[in-house]
């Protein structure tokens, strides 16, 4: 009798299991959201934890896409959502869709996209209970945005994990450029278009008046309270300036952690897949450590 009862129940049991799995799977998917910002409709994406509870407070984990991608196909954000669930980091992952036609506004938050991120966060807070400060991450161009936003807006950032940027601005206002090195006076350097011949061609668009005025902005007061995780592939042409940026943080009194996976820049080759997995893994452990977790 009991066996028969269990057999009769089994279709319902498996249906319930299927529905539960569907809900959990849906939480890993990024939901597109729109808001009106400066008279234009803009998009960002959001992914909730698997065990989301409406009354619970969550960390807003912002993952900024690189220059060759967008928020919708941001593989780094997808990996962060998955690993945050695996490591029990209570976070809502937010992936803002930045302007890619004008790379400068995404590289340098003060040129526009920093304010857009603030608008996104205000929009998310209307619906969800979030902690006051954000966890901030970005790779490549996202790394350029994330470290500069953290240095200029330290009161908003709990911790920053910034990866493989093509340029960095040090806390004291120097500019580090991939395959070139240190620029002590960014305003003067970027105001002279002849200097464009000295750096990689794909970075030549740095040379405009807007960029020259903001590339050397020093860290805001209190920025040294924001802990940083700096990562870059040991095979990446950007590795040297990543090391220099981490050293500049230490010299300025910041708490800094570093990791150097064996990766080139942005490769999707299976050969490096295990090494690329280290980026989100180290980031989530770092964020847990600086949000009261045990990692």
DSSP string spanning 44-108? Answer: EEEE--TT--TTS-BEEEEEE--TT--STT-HHHHHHHHHHHHTT--EEEEEE----SSHHHHH-
Q: What's the CA gap between 73 and 58, in Å, rounded?
A: 23
Q: What's the CA gap between 233 and 271, in Å, rounded?
A: 14
Q: What's the CA gap between 220 and 226, in Å, rounded?
A: 11
Q: What's the CA gap between 12 and 3, in Å, rounded?
A: 15
CATH architecture of 32-289: 3-Layer(aba) Sandwich (3.40)
Per-domain residue ranges of the chain = 32-289
Specify the pLDDT at position 72.
58
Contact 230, 165 (CB under 8 A): no
Q: What's the gap between Cα 108 and its chain centre?
A: 14
Specify the pLDDT at position 257.
99
Specify the pLDDT at position 1.
41
Q: What is the CA radius of gyration of the chain?
A: 21
Contact 145, 113 (CB under 8 A): yes
Q: What's the CA gap between 9 and 14, in Å, rounded?
A: 9
CA distances, 183 to each of 13, 143, 168, 198, 241 (Å) = 64, 19, 10, 12, 11
Sign of CA dihedral 9, 11, 16, 17: positive
Specify the pLDDT at position 70.
55
Question: If we measure between CA atoms, which residue out of 79, 145, 76 comes closest to residue 116?
Answer: 145
Specify the pLDDT at position 20.
37
What residues of the chain score a pLDDT lower than 70? 1-28, 68-74, 294-295
Contact 43, 32 (CB under 8 A): yes
DSSP 167-186: EEE-TTS-EEETTTEEES-H
pTM to 2 decimal places: 0.89
Hey, what are 22's tokens? 């569907």
Specify the pLDDT at position 192.
97
- Where does the chain show beta strands of DSSP type E? 31-37, 40-47, 59-64, 91-96, 134-139, 157-163, 167-169, 175-177, 181-183, 228-231, 256-259
């Amino acid at each position: 009798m009991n066996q028969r009862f269990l057999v009769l129940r089994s279709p319902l049991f498996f249906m319930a299991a299927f529905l539960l799995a569907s809900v959990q799977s849906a939480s890993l998917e990024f939901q597109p959201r729109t808001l009106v910002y400066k008279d234009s409709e803009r998009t960002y994406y959001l992914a909730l934890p698997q065990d989301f509870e409406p009354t619970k407070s969550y960390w807003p984990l912002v993952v900024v896409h690189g220059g060759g991608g967008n928020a919708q196909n941001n593989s780094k954000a997808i990996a962060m959502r998955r690993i945050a669930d695996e490591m029990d980091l209570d976070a809502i992952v937010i992936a803002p869709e930045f302007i890619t036609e004008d790379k400068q506004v995404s590289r340098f938050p003060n040129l526009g996209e920093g304010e857009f991120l603030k608008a996104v966060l205000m929009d998310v807070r209307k619906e969800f209970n979030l902690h006051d400060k954000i966890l901030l991450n970005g790779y490549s161009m996202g790394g350029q945005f994330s470290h500069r936003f953290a240095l200029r807006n330290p009161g908003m950032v709990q911790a920053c994990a910034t990866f493989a940027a093509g340029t960095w601005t040090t806390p004291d206002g120097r500019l580090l450029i991939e395959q070139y090195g240190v620029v002590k006076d960014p305003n003067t350097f970027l105001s002279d278009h002849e200097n464009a011949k000295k750096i990689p061609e794909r970075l030549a668009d740095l040379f405009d008046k807007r960029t020259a005025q903001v590339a050397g902005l020093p860290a805001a007061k209190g920025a040294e309270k924001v802990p940083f995780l700096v990562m870059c592939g040991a095979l990446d042409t950007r590795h040297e300036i990543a090391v220099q940026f981490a050293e500049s943080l230490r010299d300025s009194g910041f708490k800094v952690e570093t990791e150097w996976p064996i990766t080139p820049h942005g490769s999707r080759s299976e050969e490096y897949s295990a090494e690329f997995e280290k980026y989100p893994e180290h980031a989530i452990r770092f964020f847990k450590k600086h949000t009261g977790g045990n990692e």
